[in-house]
Chains A and B, each alone.
Chain A
C-alpha cells in the first residue's frame, strides 16, 4: 500500500536502502546512511553485514547510534576490533559498499567535507575533514552517496576541496592516481532524484526522479550539467509499513526524522 504522507528524507532513506543487496557488506557513517543500512537489514536484506570504522562488526543495532563508535555500534556484535582492522578489511576487498555524504559534490562524484571557501588557511566554514570518508571512498568496491538539500550550492561544478575521491577528473583518473581499478561511486541519492554515472564518461546521469519531481526541477537545483537519458524511472515511495519501521523501530527518538 502506498502512503502519500511521507517526507523527502524518508523517501531518500528507503531509496538508498534499496541499493543494498542482501548478503553483501557495507561500511556506514551516522545519519541517513546508517538509517538506510538499518532499514535494508529490517526489510529486504537481513543478511547485510554492517561495519563501523571505530571497530564494530556485524552488530545487532538496538537504536540509532549518535557516533560511529558508540556502544550501539557494538551491541551484540560478532567482533569488536580496531579502526585499522576495518580499513585493512576494506583494502583487502571484503567490503562491498561505503555509504557517504558531504557538504558539496561535483559531476564526477568528488566529495567535500573539509571546508567552504577558496583559502585553505582561512576557510569560510571549516568542516570535520575526511574522518574515514576518504578511506572508504578509496578502498570500498562501490561508494553510495547520500546528499539531502539538493541545490546549486551543494551540487557544484567544482568542489572547494576534494576530501574524498569520486572519479576525480573523469574516466581512468582513479587508476592514474593509484586507486584500485573497479572502484568508485555508483549512485547518488538526493531529495529530488537518483543519479548513477555514465560508464563512458563517469559523469553523473539521471537515473530516476522522485514522484512529483520534474527533470526541470533537478536541472535548476544542480550547478553542473548532468546526463539526461531517454528513459528516466520514477522512484517508489515508502509504504505505510516502511514509515512505521523508520519511525518506531529505527529512529524512535526522532533524531533523523523529527516528529
Chain B
C-alpha cells in the first residue's frame, strides 16, 4: 500500500534538528563519564544557550518551572529563541516580556489558566511579532517522544479534521498496515531543555516528586539539558533508590542547586503559588503603557545580579508563607 498524503497543514517547523544528526552530535559532544557538572546558572546559560536556539521548558507553565534559568536568559538578553509552548504560562511570559522569543510551537500559551489572559503574549501574538504554529499538548509530547526515540516522525490520532491540524505541519496518511487514517507529526529534538527538579546529584541524576509532566521525554530528546534543583544530594542517596531517577546523568550538562527555584510558580510538596506576585506581574503586563512591564523587569530581573538577590528581595517571610499554603496550614509566623 502506497502512503499518499491526503491532507496537510501549513504550519512552519521551527526546530530543524533531525534525529540522525542528533545521534551523531551526541556521539562526539556528550560525555558518558561521571563528572561533576555543578556550575553557576550564569555560566550554564552563557555556555549552553545561544541566540536562535529551540528551547524546551520542564514542568507545567507555572508548576515546577525553572524560573532562575528563565530570569538569567532574560538578563543575558538572549534573542530569537523558539520555544515549545507545551503548556507555557509564567515561564514563556517572562521570556516574551524580555524580548527573547521569536517563534513558538503553540499547544497552550497566552493563558494563565484560572487567572485569565496575558497582556504581554496577546500583544506579541496578535500583532504577528512572534511567529506561531499550532499543536496540542498531546501532540507536543508525541513529538518529543519521537525525538527521544530517534525516529523522524510519529503517527498520532489527535488534531484530525480541525483547524489546529491545518495550522500545524502535520500530514494525514493512510496506515500502510490497516488503512486507518493517521496524522504524521515531525519529531522534536530541542537544542536546549531547562528543568527544575526536587533533587539531583552533582553528576546530573535527577529525581522529581509527583507528576513528571513531560520532563523525562524532553531531557531524552534534547541536545543540552540544564537542571536546577531544590536540593543537591550525594550520589549515595540516588543509589539507594535508583528507580526514582527520571533523568540519568549522561543526558545532563549542568546542575545547579537552587532552592525556591520555581518561584512564583508552585513546587509540589515544597511551596504553593505566590498569587500576589503573579497577579502583580499580570497587571504590569496588561498595562497599555509598555513602561509598566519594563519597570517590572528592571525591578525583578535586570537590576539584580542573580537569583540569590531575587530571593533576598522577596524576603524569608514571604517565601515561608508559600510553604504553609502548600501544606494547607494556617501561617503561624
Contact = CB atoms under 8 A, between A and B. Distances in A.
B307 interface: no
A56 interface: yes
A167 to B, nearest CB: 10
B210 to A, nearest CB: 5
Contact of B62 (A67, A127, A177, A179): A67
A125 interface: yes
A135 B160 CA distance: 10
B111 to A, nearest CB: 4
A54 B60 contact: yes
Main DSSP-derived SS at the A contact region: loop
A114 B216 CA distance: 28
Nearest to B126: A126
Interface stretch (A2-10, A116-124, A207-215): A116-124
Contacts of B59: 69
Contacts of A165: 160-162
B162 A134 contact: yes
B216 A82 contact: yes
A83 interface: yes
Contact of B211 (A81, A128, A139, A178): A81
Contacts, number: 193
Nearest to A74: B210
Contact of B217 (A30, A54, A82): A82
B63 A54 contact: yes
Given A62-B328, A135-B138, A163-B164, A128 B157 contact: no
A47 interface: no
14 contacts: A30-B114, A69-B60, A71-B266, A82-B216, A83-B141, A84-B141, A122-B126, A128-B109, A130-B164, A132-B108, A138-B158, A162-B164, A164-B164, A165-B161
B227 interface: no
A177 B164 CA distance: 13
A80 interface: yes
A138 B157 contact: yes
Contact of A122 (B128, B217, B268): B128
B160 A80 contact: no
Interface string A67-93: 111110110000011111001000100
A128 B160 contact: no
B187 interface: no
B117 to A, nearest CB: 7
Interface residues of B, number: 61
A129 B62 contact: no
A193 B9 CA distance: 36
A256 B272 CA distance: 19
A97 interface: no
**Which A-B residue pairs are the 6 nearest by beta carbons?**
A178-B181, A55-B211, A177-B161, A69-B60, A135-B138, A128-B111
Nearest to A119: B128
Interface residues on A, range: 35 or more
Contact of A82 (B122, B125, B141, B328): B141
A128 B333 CA distance: 38
B137 A83 contact: yes
Interface of B: 59-63, 85, 87, 89, 106-111, 113-115, 117, 121-122, 125-128, 134-139, 141-142, 145, 157-164, 167, 172, 180-183, 210-214, 216-217, 266, 268-269, 272-273, 326, 328
A244 interface: no
A137 to B, nearest CB: 9
Contacts of A128: 108-111, 117
Contacts of B126: 122-126
B274 to A, nearest CB: 12
A130 B157 contact: no
Contact of A71 (B106, B180, B268): B268
B221 to A, nearest CB: 12
A54 B87 contact: yes
Contacts of B157: 91, 138-139, 178-180
Given A69-B211, A83-B213, A179-B157, 7 more contacts: A54-B63, A69-B59, A87-B142, A114-B163, A133-B136, A177-B160, A178-B160
A168 interface: yes
A164 B135 CA distance: 11
Nearest to B271: A71
Given A83-B141, A122-B126, A130-B134, A179 B161 contact: yes
